[in-house]
């Protein structure tokens, strides 16, 4: 597998279309101690945690990989976390877990499945409401994990009920942790501690250098342990990197949160609350057309400090705010807004240099590995050029935001999350999805050196519409939603990995993480008709367009044939979509025949193979149910 221009090719020169899923949703949490994020005990004994068995037990690997391959999912985004590799302490790597990973990847190789490794995180760590980093990254800054929630520095599924009188965990509230103190502080120090908090040091090093070096050393160690696994096609840098406080223009007000939900503090108030000062906050709830404030709440009413003795807030030390005289005063509201005397640009000033450093470290062990990079989710990507690094894929994310947050779907209704405009009519909704993906592709063309694009995450909450499908078994609406997403992917000729395939998903606990349930598997495939569909796996030429009419059972593929490639064009053609004997035609745009082309259906491989004996020019391949 190699990159040339905006395309990815196999060793026979065919243009690849990579399609698969994220494996898997529960890889964010350990198998030991057992439990979901709703179990308070799941945060106990972090040094003794084990992720062996994620994404599934070794004895189940063949069955899961066979199932994915049967459905045409031969390229996977394989989830690991920093915590899974280095939970016991800095430099103490879980060699048993990496040995398990090697065995899983050998099975993938045997089944003809490729992966790229995704170092996953959400809102920094499990102790700050998500997953990713080990607990010791917080403890090295003097944070007491027992005080994260009561100071408002984080909000977790594990602790929400106890702190809120047994109230249920609000759905999709976890992203608010990006605006809470702990995650925002760690991201800011990780990417830009040298600039904004040079006084904060860990074991004699700047916080930025210490944290980045631990991360880089850990990922390079894992890469070296797994580098001979032929199933690995590449490595990601970090899932959904976040700027923390970087770029905020006024720390005295709330700016650009991912979602308004629960108590929302301004950045300076999060800093003060973490240091033991009670703060008043408006409380938001999600309504049908968006969030609205419903009341006010005191955050950290007991005035408890997050920090152990001898430690204090890095931002107070940096002169951002002061509590002198017992009164909270903001001293530099634009502290994170400027870099080198000009407005800061997080993705170019801090994220891209870190990505380059990561790629250099990984390629010390293997020069040929492909790097999968991503910018701020649903936001800005970094600028890129071959001078920074070649062999790179823009693996951006996109979600149908209205459906994801509201857990409600009708194909004729949606809301443009950029403009807040209501969309009525199936065609307008479908066009919105296509255009949203096209904008990301256009950015890559214009600002990233025309890199190949892969939609690394998109997906659908299966518990939408009041979990009705759980009771009826009717997933037709889910299939229609997923079909619309894939139509948009095909229209943009995108590689894609859907979120997610969770091997231990249940209707009760979903993906076992923060109440989410986006798995296409739950003891069996769900909404299969929405995500299993024909597509060109490898093309002896240049793809032009793909369409699939699910209701009519009609697949149409246009491409520019390259006669110098001897290998066949391979179309994934499952009989569930096209029948056991599809009617196939490979011809010219004018409707004429191309006798040099031969198209055959191979049922055992669930493929249409188009062989070329010298034809050069545009081909229109159609396949339909008989």
Question: Is the same domain home to 519 and 541?
Answer: no
Is 288 a residue whose pLDDT tops 70?
A: no
450-494: pLDDT as tens digits: 999 999 999 999 999 999 999 999 999 999 999 999 999 999 999
Is 289 a residue whose pLDDT tops 70?
A: no
Q: Is 457 a catalytic residue?
A: yes
Question: Once rounded to an integer, what is the mean pLDDT over residues 403-413?
Answer: 94
Q: What is the CATH number of the domain that holds 568?
A: 2.60.40.1180
Question: Is the same domain home to 603 and 493?
Answer: no
555: exposed, middle or buried (Cβ count in 10 Å: 0-12, 13-18, 19+):
buried
The catalytic position among 83, 86, 149, 240 is 240
Triad 11, 16, 21: Cα angle to 5°: 120
Contact by Cβ (8 Å): 434, 398? no
Query: Among residues 483, 499, 531, which one ends one of the domains?
Result: 531
Is 425 a residue whose pLDDT tops 90?
A: yes
Question: Is the same domain home to 588 and 470?
Answer: no
Tell me the pTM.
0.96
| pLDDT category of residue 591 using cuts at 50, 70 and 90 | confident
The catalytic position among 457, 479, 562, 570 is 457
Question: Is the same domain home to 588 and 466?
Answer: no
Question: Is the same domain home to 481 and 564?
Answer: no
529-562: pLDDT as tens digits: 999 999 999 999 999 999 999 999 999 999 999 9
The verdict on residue 70 lying in a domain is: yes
* Residues whose CB falls within 8 Å of the CB of residue 530, separated by 6 or more in sequence, listed in order: 460, 475, 478, 479, 480, 481, 482, 483, 486
pLDDT for the residue numbered 365: 82
| Number of domains composing the chain | 2
The verdict on residue 286 lying in a domain is: no
What are the DSSP E strand ranges found in 166-249?
Answer: 201-202, 205-206, 232-236
506: exposed, middle or buried (Cβ count in 10 Å: 0-12, 13-18, 19+):
middle
Burial 359-370 (b: 16+ CB within 10 A, else e): bebbbeeeeebb
Question: Is the same domain home to 510 and 471?
Answer: yes
330-340: pLDDT as tens digits: 999 999 999 99
Question: Is the same domain home to 474 and 435?
Answer: yes
Question: Is the same domain home to 541 and 495?
Answer: no
The verdict on residue 394 lying in a domain is: yes
The verdict on residue 304 lying in a domain is: no
Taking the CA atoms of residue 71, residue 12, residue 445 and residue 20 in that order, the dihedral angle to the nearest 10 degrees is 10
Question: Once rounded to an integer, what is the mean pLDDT over residues 500-525?
Answer: 97
Query: Among residues 531, 564, 587, which one ends one of the domains?
Result: 531
Question: Is the same domain home to 522 and 541?
Answer: no
Question: Is the same domain home to 589 and 469?
Answer: no
The verdict on residue 252 lying in a domain is: no
User: What average pLDDT is seen over the chain?
Assistant: 96
The verdict on residue 404 lying in a domain is: yes
pLDDT for the residue numbered 368: 85
The verdict on residue 92 lying in a domain is: yes
Q: What is the CATH number of the domain that holds 10?
A: 3.20.20.80
Top-confidence residue, 592 or 302: 302
**112-121, 124-133, 417-426: which range is least confident on average?**
417-426
Question: Is the same domain home to 190 and 96?
Answer: yes
pLDDT for the residue numbered 63: 98
The verdict on residue 330 lying in a domain is: no
Query: Among residues 504, 531, 558, which one ends one of the domains?
Result: 531
Is 290 a residue whose pLDDT tops 80?
A: no
pLDDT for the residue numbered 592: 81
Is 41 a residue whose pLDDT tops 80?
A: yes
Q: Which domain holds residue 225?
A: 2-142+153-244+340-531
Question: Is the same domain home to 392 and 410?
Answer: yes
Could you tell me what percent of the chain has a pLDDT over 70?
100
| pLDDT category of residue 106 using cuts at 50, 70 and 90 | very high
Contact by Cβ (8 Å): 541, 561? yes
Question: Once rounded to an integer, what is the mean pLDDT over residues 3-14?
Answer: 96
């Amino acid at each position: 597998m190699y990159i040339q221009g905006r395309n990815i090719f196999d060793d026979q020169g065919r243009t690849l279309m990579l399609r698969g899923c994220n494996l898997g949703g529960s890889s964010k949490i350990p198998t030991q101690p057992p439990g979901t994020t709703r179990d308070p005990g799941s945060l106990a004994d972090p040094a003794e945690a084990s992720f062996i068995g994620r994404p599934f037990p070794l004895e189940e690997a063949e069955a899961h990989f066979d199932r994915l391959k049967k459905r045409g999912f031969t390229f996977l985004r394989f989830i690991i976390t920093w915590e899974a590799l280095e939970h016991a302490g800095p430099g103490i790597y879980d060699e048993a877990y990496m040995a398990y990973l090697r065995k899983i990847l050998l099975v993938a190789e045997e089944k003809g499945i490729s992966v790229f490794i995704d170092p996953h995180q959400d809102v920094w760590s499990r102790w700050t409401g998500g997953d990713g980093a080990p607990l010791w990254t917080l403890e090295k800054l003097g944070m007491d994990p027992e005080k994260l929630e009561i100071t408002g520095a984080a909000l977790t599924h594990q602790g929400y009920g106890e702190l809120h009188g047994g109230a249920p965990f609000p759905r999709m509230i976890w992203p608010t942790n990006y605006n809470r103190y702990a995650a925002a502080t760690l991201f800011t120090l990780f990417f830009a501690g040298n600039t904004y908090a040079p006084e904060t040091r860990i074991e004699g090093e700047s916080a930025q250098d210490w944290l980045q070096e631990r991360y880089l050393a850990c990922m390079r160690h894992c890469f070296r342990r797994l580098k001979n696994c032929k199933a690995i096609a590449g490595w990601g840098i970090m899932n959904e990197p976040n700027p923390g406080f970087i770029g905020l223009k006024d720390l005295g007000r709330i700016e650009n949160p991912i979602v308004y939900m629960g108590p929302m503090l301004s950045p300076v108030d999060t800093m003060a609350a973490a240091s033991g000062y009670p703060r008043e906050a408006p409380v938001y709830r999600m309504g049908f057309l968006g969030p609205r404030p419903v009341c006010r709440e005191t955050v950290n009413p007991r005035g408890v400090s997050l920090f152990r003795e001898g430690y204090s807030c890095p931002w107070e030390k940096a002169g951002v705010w002061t509590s002198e005289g017992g009164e909270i005063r903001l001293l530099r509201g634009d502290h994170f807004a400027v870099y080198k005397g000009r407005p800061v640009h997080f993705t170019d000033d801090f994220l891209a240099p870190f990505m380059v450093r990561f790629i250099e470290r990984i390629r010390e062990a293997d020069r040929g590995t492909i790097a999968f990079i991503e910018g701020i989710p649903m936001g800005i990507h970094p600028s890129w050029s071959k001078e920074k690094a070649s062999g790179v894929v823009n693996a951006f994310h996109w979600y149908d935001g209205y459906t994801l947050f509201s857990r409600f779907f009708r194909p004729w209704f949606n809301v443009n999350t950029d403009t807040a405009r209501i969309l009525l009519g199936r065609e307008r909704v479908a066009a919105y999805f296509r255009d949203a993906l096209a904008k990301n592709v256009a950015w890559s063309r214009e600002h990233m050196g025309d890199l190949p694009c892969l939609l690394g995450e998109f997906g659908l909450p299966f518990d939408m519409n009041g979990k009705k499908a759980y009771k009826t078994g009717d997933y037709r609406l889910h299939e229609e939603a997923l079909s619309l997403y894939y139509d948009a992917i095909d229209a943009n000729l995108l590689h894609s990995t859907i979120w997610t395939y969770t091997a231990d998903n249940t209707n009760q606990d979903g993906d076992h993480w923060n109440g989410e349930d986006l798995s296409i598997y739950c003891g069996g495939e769900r909404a299969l008709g929405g995500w299993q569909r024909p597509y060109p796996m490898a093309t002896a030429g240049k793809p032009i367009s793909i369409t699939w009419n699910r209701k009519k059972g009609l697949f149409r593929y246009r491409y520019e044939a390259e006669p110098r490639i001897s290998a066949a064009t391979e179309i994934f053609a499952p009989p569930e979509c096209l029948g056991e004997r599809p009617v196939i035609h490979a011809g010219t745009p004018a409707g004429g025949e191309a006798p040099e082309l031969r198209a055959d259906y191979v049922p055992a491989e669930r493929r249409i193979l188009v062989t070329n004996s010298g034809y050069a020019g545009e081909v229109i391949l159609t396949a339909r149910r008989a």
